[in-house]
Amino acid sequence: MSSVDTDQRTREASGAHPYGRYLEEFEVGAVYKHWPAKTVTEADDHLFCLLTMNHHPLHINDVYAAQSQQGRNVVVGPYVYALALGMSVSDISGKAIANLATEELSHPAPVFHGDTLFAETEVLEIKESRSKPDRGTVKVHTRVLKQDGTLVAEFKRLVLVPKREV
């Protein structure tokens, strides 16, 4: 019986797709356009609402939503945020020690069932830790756009990531 090598560095050295970045691999001003995009279905939205106990009728009741200013169901905002955060992991926080903060989260336009969301993240700041030489923080700004280019969400976050070498 062979053992499984669970070390991320070793697995990536085998030719596996790198997951996340070390501190040295980030560059201020870089913009990562995350892939793949995701089309939000009614089932996605309803499941997220039910899992999080958000039963607002704008999200789960077609009759109520039809009488709203949007005229139809609106995808719940925390799902849009969670989806974009997840889309960014392979480029941003796949090697993270911790996600330290999220700030300035906004939803400037609604998302509807059937919209396809694209996310991109810009590196704003990189700081080496003063107390622990094996790590540092990366501050990023993620934007979420739907298929027509409308900005539907954005947020900044601070991620603690390891250095490649100490």
Which tens digit of pLDDT belongs to each residue from 50-93? 999 999 999 999 999 999 999 999 999 999 999 999 999 999 99
**CATH no. for 22-162:** 3.10.129.10
Distances (CA, A) of 37 to 88, 102, 162: 11, 22, 27
- Enumerate the domain spans of the chain: 22-162
pLDDT at 117 (0 to 100): 95
pLDDT at 4 (0 to 100): 77
> Which residue ranges of the chain lie beneath pLDDT 70?
1-2, 166
pLDDT at 9 (0 to 100): 72
Q: How far is CA 102 from the centre of its chain?
A: 11
- E strand intervals along the chain: 31-33, 38-39, 98-106, 116-128, 135-146, 151-162
Query: Is the separation of the CB atoms in 117 and 140 below 8 Å?
Result: no
pLDDT at 111 (0 to 100): 97
pLDDT at 166 (0 to 100): 63
